[in-house]
Chains A and B, each alone.
Chain A
């Protein structure tokens, strides 16, 4: 599904070169729930941006579903982000002048879905992210942090992506709300088979994943299965 080969990313600020990623090799299979963990400045955000097609590597190759994305132009990347990838950010990034439903609809505008289908899909996505139905016409500033993050998850889900990239999704939330979000992510992973890549610096959050990839100073230092995985979602739940 996701395959990185010798990915290196170097940032240039004037004369100074910063190496953010060094020869990273990584493979994430379809349906996996992977946590990328590392302290701040380790390059985990850069890695996420490259996986999420928001940035291009300085060298190395990235295959997404077997396609070498280095060769695609900006418009193709935008299309792939729109169809295949759903982003969940720490700061939610909801548009304040749009209500919940309109925020969730936003990605479908760029995929050209017709308006009737959009609302259907958006409501479906809100349901899947466990967002309370009677709040869908509220504006983001009327919602709690946990609810805003659920809107963001619904927005990530609305175009039926293959991958959800969650960048510190619980960073702005308290532990309990954070757990609800992790529950939702696990549920999406189990039920819909969506590949989930979770970026976090918290060990506790990372343990909700199947696999933890540890990164430090731009290099992957460990890749291990989670032994006592925290499972919040059970198959028998309704």
Chain B
């Protein structure tokens, strides 16, 4: 029997019951579409997080006070509770070879009032001038915070783009006054909008000189973190070890009382969270694919029973067992192939639509498409095999007599 004929026979029996074929196909369509959209959204969020974290400056190491418990990861570290990082740590790190810049940060939340009366609660970040270089932040208008500002305890502030909008609306904030915790600051600059990077967005921050922050706002001599820019990727590990040795010595402790993360660590943590979600959601979507497969098996069994006499006749006029087997198998593979194709299109449409309304980066994953095609075709073969085998093994005489 020629393949061409096999295809025609299979198609003609599928066409003879369009509604049933369509409904069965729907099961596969939904399954494939959900797998595709889940994987695509997962891949998309991974990429967008990667991009935004890299946009915060590359080759960075971040030193946090306190020790991260093994296995608890970056997100659950409860940083800031311990107080060990001081300006002398910053000076010490600056001495290390291959370090190109060091940016200490101290942050608190404060009530902020603008001179036009707008009132917000926001995060104020005490920084050194290196912050802009290390965190890769541009000033949209006005000036950066300078070393002179640091030394002379200038009460100057640089606003995040969202904060500027909240405090001043459409008015140009440059040169205007804001009150942070009842201290008056002059606005000298506004940051360029940057968007969210993982869990933080500098668009919502206010930057002030760290000296002012420590002495006059927070009343502390400690930092929440020190970000270290390394001159090249290859030196990151070397610098990390050197920081660890030097700071441990400086703090006169035997074990480090601080933790050092690289951007890669943060990225790995976030990616692993997303991966877990993606796998979990795809797994659920995969279940619907299996349910679709069971639907195919159900339909094929019904259809084989209905066609018992036809199968008997085909055998009587010379169809071999494998001809019958192939025909039934091809029918179910055909359902899954067409269903898979429609599912891929539908899944991609859903993904693009979700991407449009939520602004999440989307990536139609070719891996997901390939996997879907393979999985749905195998489902066609696996769930079609039993009905096909049953049909092929029918005794022609009994099949012909079947009422």
Contact = CB atoms under 8 A, between A and B. Distances in A.
Interface in B162-212: none
Interface in A92-132: 93, 95, 97-98, 106-107, 109-112
Contacts of B16: 97
Nearest to B316: A87
A82 interface: yes
A55 interface: yes
Interface in B300-320: 309-310, 312-320
Contacts of B314: 106, 110
**Which interface class (under 10, 10 to 19, 20 to 34, 35 or more) fits B?**
20 to 34
Contacts of A97: 12-13, 16
A163 to B, nearest CB: 13
Given A54-B397, A97-B16, A110 B316 contact: no
A81 B321 contact: no
Interface string A9-31: 00000000000000000000000
B397 A112 contact: no
A97 B307 CA distance: 12
Contacts of B317: 81-82, 87, 106-107, 110, 155
Interface in A40-76: 49, 52, 54-55, 74-75
A49 B315 CA distance: 13
Contacts of A155: 317
Nearest to B1: A110
B321 A75 contact: yes
Interface in B366-403: 396-397, 400
Given A93-B313, A95-B313, A111 B400 contact: no
B244 interface: no
Given A54-B396, A54-B397, A112 B1 contact: yes
A82 B318 contact: yes
Contact of A81 (B310, B318, B400): B318
B58 interface: no
B319 A110 contact: yes
A112 B309 contact: no
B252 interface: no
B321 A74 contact: yes
A82 B318 CA distance: 4
A55 B319 contact: no
A103 to B, nearest CB: 10
Given A97-B16, A112-B2, A52 B320 contact: no
A78 B13 CA distance: 22
Contacts of B323: 110
B148 interface: no
Contact of A93 (B2, B5, B309): B309
B316 A52 contact: yes
Nearest to A89: B400
B9 interface: yes
Contacts of B315: 54, 78
A111 B316 contact: no
B171 to A, nearest CB: 77
Contacts of B318: 78-79, 81-83, 107, 110-111, 159
Among the interface residues B12, B310, B313, which one has the most CB atoms of the partner chain A within 10 A? Answer: B313
A49 B309 CA distance: 16
A79 B322 CA distance: 12
A112 B1 CA distance: 5
Contact of A55 (B310, B313, B397): B397
B400 A93 contact: yes
A74 B320 CA distance: 7
Nearest to A105: B5
Nearest to B319: A110
Contact of A98 (B2, B12, B316, B322): B12
A109 B316 contact: no
Interface in A175-206: none
Interface in B119-149: none
Given A89-B400, A112-B1, A95 B310 contact: yes
Contacts of B12: 97-98
A78 B321 CA distance: 9
Interface string B7-23: 00100110010000000
Interface string B38-74: 0000000000000000000000000000000000000
4 A-B pairs closest in CB distance: A82-B318, A110-B318, A107-B317, A93-B313
30 contacts: A54-B315, A54-B316, A54-B397, A55-B397, A74-B320, A75-B320, A78-B315, A78-B320, A78-B321, A81-B317, A81-B318, A83-B318, A87-B316, A87-B317, A89-B400, A93-B312, A93-B316, A93-B400, A95-B310, A95-B313, A97-B13, A106-B314, A107-B317, A107-B318, A109-B1, A110-B1, A110-B314, A110-B318, A110-B323, A111-B318
Given A82-B317, A106-B317, A109-B9, 8 more contacts: A54-B396, A74-B320, A75-B321, A93-B400, A97-B16, A110-B1, A110-B318, A110-B320
Interface of A: 49, 52, 54-55, 74-75, 78-79, 81-83, 87, 89, 93, 95, 97-98, 106-107, 109-112, 155, 159
